[in-house]
Structure 1
Amino acid sequence: MRRVLIDNDNLLGPLRAIPAVESQIDAIRQLRLSYRGADASELQYIQTQYAELCGWLYQDAGNFRSAQFWTDRALEWSYAAGVPDLTTFILARKSQLAGDMRDGLTAIDLAEAASRQARPDTRLGAIAATNGAYGYALTGDSRNANQMLDLAHTLITDQDMDPSFSWGSWMDDAYIEIHRARSLYTVGNHADAAEGFRTAIENLPPMRHRDKGVYLARESLAYVGAREPEQAASIGLQALGIAEATGSARIITELAELDGQLERWQSVPAVTEFRESFDGLIAHQA
């Protein structure tokens, strides 16, 4: 059931999945009242996984307060479940959430905490390093951001992964390079960021539909920063179609920023088309 909900989120966005995930958490908590021993521990583990997923869904929906609530519950419950790998993964996820909230120092601190706990034969160290890199970019430290991303590449290339380990199956070289492009944009290197997004997006697997929309939106912002409004608007329209299908607030937030930045180029036909389409989407949602 959790796998189906994750797949639906990737295709359709978070808003349709959140009620089902919260319902599952309530059902599991009720079941736990009737079980003890190994069965109770297994239910605690499953409940923790659902809480982490719920935090992610709210994060993608742009509701950071609820995202923090559920991710904090997941961290708390992971200790009770006694699964150190899951605790480490959730610490890395909290670093990612802090980055989305533009709290660079907290993103760095949580990533370092996750790195200290990460088993060497898992992707956890690479996940932590990638999220910590964005924290460094938010603080303007491009050197450490690049070093963390290089480390993430090394960790997923040079280590023999535990074949039974499932957390962070999406962590690959393309994902790391997406975050390098985001860091480049954050520190003001817009042309290289745009090129980095374009190359990494081409290597994304098809099932990461919603994520592709997020990355397209960020690529469009990089092109605005590089003073290429027509290219920015064209890519923004691609992201807009995915935003409409998924309801992802992460995409819409990026596109709202794009809309504002494109205002100075209203005479460009592609810009006019994007801005009118974006206004239509916002009016429809309202």
Structure 2
Amino acid sequence: MALDRRDLLRGGVGIGAAAAFGAGTPAVADSEVVQGLKQPPRMAAAYSGTPIEHFRQARRLLIDNDNLLGPRHAIAAVREHIEKIKSLRQDTKGADRHDLMELQTQYAEFASWLYQDMGDFGSAEFWLDRAFQWSHTVGDGDLTSYVMARKAQLAGEMRDLVDVVDLAEAAQRMARPRSRLAAVARTYESYGHALRGESSDSERAIDDVRNSLDRVSSDATPWGVWLNEQYLDVHRAQGLEVLGKHAQAAEVFTRAIEALPAGYHRDRGVYLARAAVAHAGAGSPEEAAAVGLQALAVARDTGSGRIMRELVNLDKTLVPWQRQPEVSAFRENFDAVLAHES
């Protein structure tokens, strides 16, 4: 049965996820790999250093690749590496076995992030569940707290009004008191309150995190090191947008985008797309269309479903101004990208 690309996008599926339709669920795909193929043995001696360092370095490179090129270029490698790590664990003992399990957990969380950016929330939840389960095997409290915070973030992106605040509060209870991970979870709680229309609670949570930044900056955990003023601004702007404070949201998004470091190509596109939606909501169609065109260029580079989902909203919001030249240019280019991806 033919699937209409616009219908997929309007249903919340990104370019990358739409391109992967028919690939099967993560559970089915993994089962087929294990049962249908004879896997060659994985030998630690095959690696120039240690297998653990090899896969750590690979994960760092894949993260950089994701920032620049988007999720669809990284997901196959991440899934393959998870299977390789599982295979290596069969013949490994002691500290190395523990470290491989930790890496497997980290790869699962990264797989969830990639699927989340593609707009495939079912697969994102699947891999976060695996990461949460495996993190308990590792016994790393910070890692488990981080995965729980990510569950809250994913619930927020899915606009789950029931679970997002509860998950964020659970992550804070699991985190070390006054730690960076507690602040990360409080950030996601802020957006959850905004989704519920709880403006004061949302602002209070953001202010609490902002006041803690100096204290948590020295936290030794490797998780959440990106928590800074710009990250908070982005989440505050998201909250303002869903609360209907469009002009204020656009202003805060713009400030955060200007301060974003080089190399965050895909994330810049996400923030541009959300800023464009805020401009449209504030009644500034020319600015919305101009910023939307910038976001569209990043979407074309990366296949980010998060960007495309925002641009679908922008496309619909701009309909009343469709005869304006700037708006017409955006909508024509948007249609061209959809046609190309189809």
The question of whether the paired residues in 2 share the 8 Å contact of 1:121 and 1:160 is answered with no
- Pick from 291, 297, 300 the counterpart of residue 241 of structure 1: 297
- Pick from 124, 128, 140 the counterpart of residue 181 of structure 2: 124
Matched, 1:73 2:130: yes
In structure 1, C-alpha distance between the alignment counterparts of 2:201 and 2:173, rounded to whole Å: 17
* More divergent stretch after superposition (164-173 vs 251-260): 164-173
- Pick from 92, 97, 116 the counterpart of residue 154 of structure 2: 97
Please, what TM-score do these two structures have when normalized by structure 2?
Answer: 0.82
The question of whether the paired residues in 1 share the 8 Å contact of 2:190 and 2:205 is answered with yes
Residue 211 of structure 1: aligned partner: 267
Q: CA deviation at 1:279?
A: 0.3
Matched, 1:144 2:201: yes
Matched, 1:190 2:243: no
The question of whether the paired residues in 2 share the 8 Å contact of 1:111 and 1:128 is answered with yes
In structure 1, C-alpha distance between the alignment counterparts of 2:138 and 2:215, rounded to whole Å: 30
- Pick from 171, 177, 198 the counterpart of residue 233 of structure 2: 177
In structure 1, C-alpha distance between the alignment counterparts of 2:63 and 2:110, rounded to whole Å: 8
Residue 155 of structure 1: aligned partner: 212
Please, what TM-score do these two structures have when normalized by structure 1?
Answer: 0.97
Matched, 1:29 2:105: no
In structure 2, C-alpha distance between the alignment counterparts of 1:24 and 1:101, rounded to whole Å: 27
- Pick from 250, 258, 275 the counterpart of residue 202 of structure 1: 258
In structure 1, C-alpha distance between the alignment counterparts of 2:293 and 2:305, rounded to whole Å: 16
Q: CA deviation at 1:266?
A: 1.2
Render the CA deviation track for 1:88-129: whole Å, top value 9, x for unaligned: 000000000000110033110111011112224642112101
In structure 2, C-alpha distance between the alignment counterparts of 1:27 and 1:167, rounded to whole Å: 24
Matched, 1:221 2:283: no
Matched, 1:133 2:190: yes
Residue 327 of structure 2: aligned partner: 271
The question of whether the paired residues in 1 share the 8 Å contact of 2:194 and 2:243 is answered with yes
The question of whether the paired residues in 2 share the 8 Å contact of 1:213 and 1:239 is answered with yes
Matched, 1:230 2:263: no
In structure 2, C-alpha distance between the alignment counterparts of 1:281 and 1:222, rounded to whole Å: 22
In structure 1, C-alpha distance between the alignment counterparts of 2:179 and 2:263, rounded to whole Å: 23
1:188 match: secondary structure:
coil
- Pick from 262, 265, 280 the counterpart of residue 336 of structure 2: 280
In structure 2, C-alpha distance between the alignment counterparts of 1:184 and 1:124, rounded to whole Å: 23
Higher RCO structure, 1 or 2 (CA under 8 Å, sep 6+):
2
In structure 1, C-alpha distance between the alignment counterparts of 2:166 and 2:211, rounded to whole Å: 21
Render the CA deviation track for 1:26-66: whole Å, top value 9, x for unaligned: 00001111112211111100000000000000000000000
In structure 2, C-alpha distance between the alignment counterparts of 1:128 and 1:20, rounded to whole Å: 29
One-letter identity of the residue aligned with 1:69 = F
In structure 2, C-alpha distance between the alignment counterparts of 1:155 and 1:47, rounded to whole Å: 31
In structure 2, C-alpha distance between the alignment counterparts of 1:207 and 1:110, rounded to whole Å: 30
Residue 64 of structure 1: aligned partner: 121
Residue 261 of structure 1: aligned partner: 317
Do the aligned partners of residues 225 and 119 (structure 1) sit closer, same or farther apart at CA in structure 2, a change above 3 Å counting?
same
One-letter identity of the residue aligned with 1:198 = T
Q: CA deviation at 1:68?
A: 0.2
4+ aligned runs moved over 6 Å, structure 1:
none
In structure 2, C-alpha distance between the alignment counterparts of 1:16 and 1:9, rounded to whole Å: 7
2:244 match: secondary structure:
coil
Within a 5 Å distance, the mapping from 1:107-118 to structure 2 comes to 107-118=164-175
Q: CA deviation at 1:160?
A: 5.6
One-letter identity of the residue aligned with 2:122 = R
2:283 match: secondary structure:
coil
Alignment identity in percent?
51
Residue 16 of structure 2: aligned partner: none
In structure 2, C-alpha distance between the alignment counterparts of 1:127 and 1:240, rounded to whole Å: 29
One-letter identity of the residue aligned with 2:266 = R
